[in-house]
Amino acid sequence: MSAIFKNRVRNKALLSKFVENPMDLITAHFRDKQHIGFSGFTGIGSPKVIPNTLCEYTRHHHLNMPGSDKQLRFNLYVGASCGVEEDKMALENMIIKRTPHQVGKQIRKRINSGDTLFFDKNLSLFPQELLYGFYKKDITLPDPNKTDELPSNVLDIVVIEATGIDEDGGIILGPSVGATPEFLAGAEKVIIEINTTLKEMKGLHDLVLQKNPPFRQPLPYTKVNQRLGSEKIYVDIKKVVAVIESQIEDHIPENSPADENSAKIASHLIAFFKNEVKHNRMPKNLLPLQSGIGNVANSVIGGLANSGFKNLQVFTEVFQDSFLDLFANGSLDVASSTSIRLTPKGMARLTQNWDTWSKQIILRPQTVSNNPELIRRLGCIAMNTPVEVDIYGHANSTCVLGSKMLNGIGGSREFLTSAKYSIMHTISARPTPTDPFGITSIVPFVSHVDQTEHDLDVFVTEQGLADLRGLAPRERALKIINNCAHPEYRPLLLKYFSDSVKRSNGKMHEPHDLHKCFEMYFNLEERGSMRAFKKPNEKLT
C-alpha cells in the first residue's frame, strides 16, 4: 500500500478492504455471462487495473478461443465510451453485449463482425433503464407498492475509478461522473480503484440520484451554475469487495488543428447567432451551449472564443480543450458536463489554473447533464456532427451504409430533440481513395435515421447555413441543397428532388423515389465515389 494511497483512503472500513493483487479479485468475483458496470465517460475515468487484469487472465487461460467452451465474457455497461481498456477486452473477445456507446477500433470491429451485440441508447436514459430492471428481466425489484428503494441487483459487479475517499466514506470521483451513481446503487458487488496519478478532485461534482417512477421528483435546476446535489458519493460498505490502487493514466489523443472548412462553419454559425440576438430571440450571452466531440465542434467553440460574446455558459456532456480558451479570455462563466475529456496538454493547462477554473466547472451524472427536462428548460443551443443528413433533414449519426456501426448516438438525440436550437454541422464532402469529393454529407435519403426531420432547426456546412425552422419538407430540401451541399453534388441532388417531385402526383408532401434514393450509396460501393458517372472507369471531372 503506497503512502499516497493510504492518504487518499481516509475511511477506515474501506481502507481495510485494500487488496494488493488484483488477480485475486478476478478468480473470486468474476464469472462468465455476468452483467458488469465500469465508471467512465468518453474515455475518461474508467477503471484500468481490473480490465487489464481480466484481459491478462483471459489470455493466460486461453478463454474465448474459437470453438472453445471455456468462456469469460460479459454484458458490459459503461456510461458512454470506456478508455483503451475496452478495446483490449474486445481484442480478447470478452464482450457479449455492450451499451450505450463505444469508441475504439477493436470494439467496433467486434460489433460489426457480429461477435459483440450492441445497442445504443440515449445517454441520460440508459442508467435509468438499468435501474428500471429493463436489462436483466429475470430479477425481481423492490416492491413499489411498499417502498421507493432502488434495486441493488441489476448489475453483478461494478468497478469504478475514484480519486479519494473521505473519513465519512464519501467517495471523491475523478474527471467523469457518467452513470456511476446509478451503477453503485444497482450493484451487488463494488470494486473501487483509487487513481493516485490524478489530483483529488473534491468540489467538482454535483451528484444526485433519482428515484424510479412513481417516486421521481423534479430536477429543479434553472441555471447552469446551480449545485443542488452532493459533492461526494456514498455506497453501502457491505457491497464493497475491494479497494485497490491504480497508477494508470487516461490517454486522450490530440485534436487535429482547426482547418479552413471548420473555420467557415464556425463563421456561418456565429453570424446566425448574431442575427438571433439582433431579433431578441436569444440574449446577448446566447443560451447554454452543448457541443459534440470532433474537429468541427472544437473549431466552432474556438470561433466563439474570438467573436466578442461574453458571459457564455456551457451545458454539455463533455468538457473539451477548446473550452479552456474561453476560460482564458474570460468569455465563459460556467461549464457543466459529465466528463472532463482533456488532452494531456489541456489537463496540464487546467491543473495550472485549477484554483480559478475548477470553480467554474461542474461535473454532473449523465442523467442530469443529458436530461431532456433540463435541456429544454435551459433552452440549450445543441451542436452535433452527423454522418450524413438527407435533403429533408433526417440525420444518420451511427450506421454507415445503413448497417455498419460507428460509435452510437451518444448524447446527440436527447440534445437535438430537446434543445431550443437543434443544430447539426459537418463538412459537405469528404474524400474517398479515388475522389477528393467522393462522399457527400447530404444525400437523398439517409441509409439510417437517428434524428428525424422533426428535430433539426439548423444545418450548416462550410458552404453555408440552412435555417430550417418553420419550413415544410419541400422548402427544406431546396434550402439544404442550395445553401449547404457541395457544388459537385448540388446538381445531382436538385435533379433527384425535381425528378421525385415530378413522380409524386398525389404524394407531394415529402417527394421521394424509393427506386433511386440510395443510388449514391451504390455508386460509392461499386465505383468508389457517390458521384454518378456515365461509364465505369470514366475519369472524374
Stretch in the footprint of a second copy (CB under 8 A) among 249-257, 324-332, 369-377, 434-442: 369-377
Q: In the block, which residue shows the cell 487535429? A: 256
Q: Is 228 in the site for a second copy (CB under 8 A)?
A: no
Helical residues (DSSP H) of 307-411, grouped into ranges: 321-328, 344-352, 354-357, 366-369, 372-378
Stretch in the footprint of a second copy (CB under 8 A) among 56-64, 173-181, 370-378, 428-436: 370-378
Q: In the block, which residue shows the cell 407498492? A: 145
Q: How far is the CB of 1 from a second copy (least distance, A)?
A: 40
Cα–Cα distances in Å, from 411 out to 286, 318, 455?
A: 21, 10, 14
159: which strand partners? 38, 191
Stretch in the footprint of a second copy (CB under 8 A) among 40-48, 85-93, 218-226, 252-260: 218-226
Nearest-5° Cα angle at 508, 503 to 512: 55
Cα separation, 38 vs 538, whole angstroms? 52
Residue closer to a second copy by CB (options 111, 258) is 111
Q: How far is the CB of 26 from a second copy (least distance, A)?
A: 26
| Identified binder of a second copy from the candidate list 12, 279, 534, 535, rule CB under 8 A | 279
- What is the SS3 string spanning 180-206? HHHHHHHEEEEEEEEECCCCCCCCCEC
Contact flags string 501-540 toward a second copy, x per CB under 8 A: x--x-xxxxxxx-xx-xx--xx------------------
Please, which residues have CB within 8 angstroms of residue 119's CB and are 6 or more apart in sequence?
97, 99, 100
Sites for a second copy among residues 5-64 (CB under 8 A): none
Q: How far is the CB of 13 from a second copy (least distance, A)?
A: 31
Q: Is 60 helix (H, G, I), strand (E, B) or coil?
A: helix
Annotated active-site positions, please? 317
Q: Is 541 in the site for a second copy (CB under 8 A)?
A: no
Sites for a second copy among residues 133-162 (CB under 8 A): 133-137, 139-145
Sites for a second copy among residues 304-363 (CB under 8 A): none
Stretch in the footprint of a second copy (CB under 8 A) among 61-69, 280-288, 354-362, 432-440: 280-288
Sites for a second copy among residues 465-494 (CB under 8 A): 467, 469-475
Q: Which three cell numbers stand for residue 377?
A: 428548460
Q: Is 87 in the site for a second copy (CB under 8 A)?
A: no
| Identified binder of a second copy from the candidate list 244, 399, 484, 493, rule CB under 8 A | 399
What single letter denotes the amino acid at residue 269? L
**Strands 429-432, 435-440: parallel, antiparallel or unpaired by DSSP?**
antiparallel
* Listed residue (68, 74, 1) closest to 38, CA to CA: 74
Residue closer to a second copy by CB (options 13, 119) is 119
